[in-house]
Every structure is written in structure tokens, then in C-alpha cells.
Amino acid sequence: METKQILLAEDDANDIELTLLALSEYNLANKVVVVRDGAEALDYLYRRGNYADRSAGHPVVVLLDLKMPKVDGLEVLRQVKGDSQLKMIPIVMLTSSRQDKDIIQSYDLGVNAYVVKPVAFEGFIKAVKQLGLFWALVNEPPPGTAV
């Protein structure tokens, strides 16, 4: 059976901790690769830099924060969806931004879902549990995406 990895691109330590806590209910936390900026996310996806030796394949979903250092989420999204080798990887924008321009631009660039992080602890945990359940356990990913 293939392991279904999730790539979490998030720079906020509290949000990382809460996301891993939420995904642990479905035993998915140990399958999460955490990167803390957009440049590191791209390195992971392109198997370069610190990730040059990682196994082939892609995550079943990328949970991508919009506002990150080095390379922001929109630029990561633009590069991934513009690449014939990566464009089928599902990307969920998981962000605190409710700005129409961010939502519109994300969908215009090909995001698969746009989720605004709930401020309340319980709401955040519930939203991430639902995301993990759907994308890692329910959704049938494109062939070759399981790492």
C-alpha cells in the first residue's frame, strides 16, 4: 500500500502544531511533511536542495498558506499549476485571508480549494480534520501522486 503524504507549507508554529494535532485523529500526522516557506515547498516538490534525495512521487495534497516568507503561496501555486509534471497535485489554500482578490487570484491560478482558517481553536481543528479526511482518505488522487 502506498503512503499518502501531505505537504504542509506553513510558517506559523501554532498553526503547524494545530494542523498536526487535527490530522493525528486519522493517523495522518506522521505522513505530513512540514515546510516553513514557499521556497522550501518548491524545493520539496521539485526534489532539489534538502529534498534532492526524497523518494519519487508527489504528495496527495498540498496545504498551502498564502502569506509565507521567501516565496508566497500564490507564487508557489503559480509555479506548480504551470508545470506539466506537477499541475495535477491538489492544492488547498489554507489561509487567514478572506480578501476577494486573494480568493479570485487563487482560483484563477488553479487552486483546488480555498479554506479560511477559523480563528477559534475548535473550528480550526474541525476544518483541518475534514480536509485531511477528504484529501488523504476519501479523494482518489491522480496516479503517481502518492509518495
CATH number of the domain bearing residue 51: 3.40.50.2300
**146 within some domain:** no
**74 within some domain:** yes
- Across the range 61-81, mean pLDDT stands at 95
pLDDT in tens, 86-145: 999 999 999 988 899 999 999 999 999 999 887 787 888 888 888 887 887 787 777 666
Q: Which region among 44-48, 49-53, 135-139 has the lowest average model confidence (pLDDT)?
A: 135-139
pLDDT at 1: 38
- Cβ atoms of 2 and 55 within 8 Å: the answer is no
List 33's β-bridge partners, or say none.
7
Rounded Cα distance between 122 and 120, Å, is 6
Rounded CA Rg of the chain: 14
Q: Where does the chain show beta strands of DSSP type E? A: 6-9, 32-35, 61-64, 91-95, 113-116
**144 within some domain:** no
- Across the range 2-6, mean pLDDT stands at 72
Q: Which helix (H) or strand (E) holds 121?
A: helix 121-132
Q: Is the pLDDT of residue 67 over 60?
A: yes
Structural domain range at position 63: 6-138
**145 within some domain:** no
Rounded Cα distance between 54 and 131, Å, is 25
- Other beta carbons less than 10 A from residue 15's beta carbon: 19
Q: Which residues contact 34 (CB under 8 A, 6 or more apart)?
A: 8, 10, 16, 20
Q: What is the number of domains present in the chain? A: 1
| Sign (positive or negative) of CA dihedral 54, 95, 21, 26 | negative
pLDDT at 111: 96
pLDDT at 145: 60
**143 within some domain:** no
pLDDT at 25: 81
**118 within some domain:** yes
**120 within some domain:** yes
**109 within some domain:** yes
Q: Is the pLDDT of residue 35 over 50?
A: yes
Q: Is the pLDDT of residue 147 over 60?
A: no
Q: What pTM does this model have?
A: 0.90
Across the chain, what does the average pLDDT equal? 88
